[in-house]
Amino acid sequence: MSQLIVFDHPLIQHKVSILRKKDTASNKFRALVEEITMLMCYESMRDLPLETVEIETPLQKTEAKAISGIKLAVIPILRAGLGMVNGVLNLVPSARVGHIGMYRDEQTLEPHPYYCKLPSNIGERLAIVVDPMLATGGSAVDAIDQIKALGGKKIKFMCLVAAPEGVKRLQEAHPDVDIYCASLDKGLNENGYILPGLGDAGDRIFGTK
Ligand code: PRP
Ligand code: URA
């Protein structure tokens, strides 16, 4: 079974609380999503392999540490996942960016995929799928199905707020994919929204409501 990692760092918790407030405006919301993603990314990269390389300082040659042989892809689930991309790129500028377009039907809550473009050699990369919300889990499961169908092997899923229902569904469908989140919330309401949650992440990031 995959791991669920909930980040309890005070900076992350504090920023998530501001994100949740209904009066937080879109420009601040966007900035916070990026900052929280960067902090989560920093923590979630702890297990990247290091190698020893020889470098030359202005004074002498020395051995130093460098991240070894890992290529990264960050893959946002559109739209809301776009808000998290720069948080990863700020720390790993060389990461490639894939896109998976998907919207959730408001009645059935089923995901409807409409776009998929991934970096080449996805099977050789560590793919970090980003989406602020893991609600029923339908979108995340479908996105990861698509990545695996195109050869993806090493995948992590990073969200800001997760519902227990979504975590269960994702862990059952993809037991090899670890889940990173800033908060595990109470559950879903009758419309499939996370409680207490933060509302519609896409609308809040892009100011469409
Ligand atoms: C939201 C969110 C996730 C999905 C989560 O996107 O960003 O992709 O819902 O719900 P699920 O776990 O029940 O599938 P939405 O479909 O509203 O699209 P948007 O990002 O374009 O607003
Ligand atoms: N999508 C969102 O944007 N928010 C939720 O609470 C659930 C799904």
Q: How far is the CA of 54 from the centre of ligand 1 (A)?
A: 46
Measured CA to CA, the distance from residue 82 to residue 32 in angstroms comes to 13
Q: How far is the CA of 206 from the centre of ligand 1 (A)?
A: 13
Question: Which atom from ligand 1 is nearest to the alpha carbon of 202?
Answer: 22
Active-site hit among 104, 125, 169, 204: 104
Question: Which atom from ligand 2 is nearest to the alpha carbon of 194?
Answer: 6
Predicted local confidence at residue 69, as pLDDT: 79
57: tokens are 């300082």
Predicted local confidence at residue 92, as pLDDT: 93
Q: How far is the CA of 133 from the centre of ligand 2 (A)?
A: 6
Q: Contact, 97 vs 120, CB < 8 A?
A: no
Predicted local confidence at residue 74, as pLDDT: 98
90 phi, psi to nearest 5 deg: -60, -35
pLDDT tens digits, the chain, 209 residues: what are they? 889 999 999 999 999 999 999 999 999 999 999 999 999 999 999 888 899 999 999 999 999 999 887 799 999 999 999 999 999 999 999 999 999 999 999 999 999 999 999 999 999 999 999 999 999 999 999 999 999 999 999 999 999 999 999 999 999 999 999 999 999 999 999 999 999 999 999 999 999 98
Predicted local confidence at residue 47, as pLDDT: 87
136 lines ligand 1 (CB under 6 A): yes
162: tokens are 């997760």
Please confirm, yes or no, whether 104 is among the known catalytic residues. Answer: yes
Q: How far is the CA of 56 from the centre of ligand 1 (A)?
A: 48
Q: What angle do CA 78, 38, 2 make, to 5 degrees?
A: 70
Please confirm, yes or no, whether 169 is among the known catalytic residues. Answer: no
Closest CA to ligand 2's atom 5: 193
Q: DSSP character for 135?
A: S
Predicted local confidence at residue 1, as pLDDT: 82
Please confirm, yes or no, whether 145 is among the known catalytic residues. Answer: no
